[in-house]
Amino acid sequence: MSEAQLGLLTATPIIIVFAGVLRAKGVLSTVATVSAVALSAAIAVVLFTTQ
C-alpha cells in the first residue's frame, strides 16, 4: 500500500466524522452532510483504485 493510499484511508474517515459533527452542531444541513460524505467517499474510492 502506497503512502497516498494510506493518506486516503486516514483522511476520508476524518472528513466524514467532521461532517457529522458539523451536522450535529447545526452548521451543515442534512443535504450538505450527505453530499460531503458521498463525494468524499467517491473521490477516495477513485483515487485509491488509481494510485
* Predicted confidence (pLDDT) per residue in 4-14, tens digit: 899 999 999 99
pLDDT at 25 over 90: yes
Residue type, 5: Q
**34 in any annotated domain:** no
Q: How many domains does the chain have?
A: 1
Q: What is the C-alpha radius of gyration for the chain, rounded to an integer number of angstroms? A: 12
Residues 6+ apart with CB under 8 A from 2: 51
pLDDT at 39 over 80: yes
**16 in any annotated domain:** yes
Give yes or no for a contact between 50 and 7, defined as CB atoms under 8 angstroms apart. no
Q: Which domain holds residue 4?
A: 1-29+44-51
**38 in any annotated domain:** no
pLDDT at 51 over 80: no
Q: How far apart are CA 45 and CA 29, in angstroms?
A: 24
pLDDT range class, residue 1, cuts 50, 70, 90 = confident
User: What pLDDT score was predicted for residue 41?
Assistant: 95
